Amino acid sequence: MGGFFGPPGQPPTGTPTQPTQTGAPTAPPPGFTPPRPDGVATFAVDPGAIRGCLFRFTYVWLTNQQQFWFYPIFVGQTSVAGFRWTGFSWSYFGIDTRLIDSFQCF
């Protein structure tokens, strides 16, 4: 099912099941870091759960302790892609959902 099409570093095209908006946000993310959700660590994030964050500012905590603002534009069976905030600009980014510990969308 679906994949990423196009050159590396560019948003995917050819994903007819996803909304047509594929560009990076035109504004920076919120100017705060949300508190990490309490609860038991997950073994993998369900792609269906993060699908509700499509085209919304989303704060992500990874299993390797990295954390950042993310703007998802595509959710596959085992991955999510979109734009990651670098602190200065948005950069296209994709990741396996098994590497996401938790997330919160706004």
pTM: 0.77
CB 102 within 8 A of CB 91: no
Mean pLDDT by 10 residues, the chain (106 residues): 42 45 91 84 76 97 96 96 97 96 94
Q: Which of 25, 20, 2, 11 is nearest to 71 (CA)?
A: 25
CB 102 within 8 A of CB 42: yes
φ, ψ dihedrals at 101, nearest 5°: -85, -45
Helix (H) or strand (E) holding 50: helix 47-51
- Provide the residue ranges of all domains of the chain, joining segments of one domain with +: 47-105
Architecture of domain 47-105: Roll (2.30)
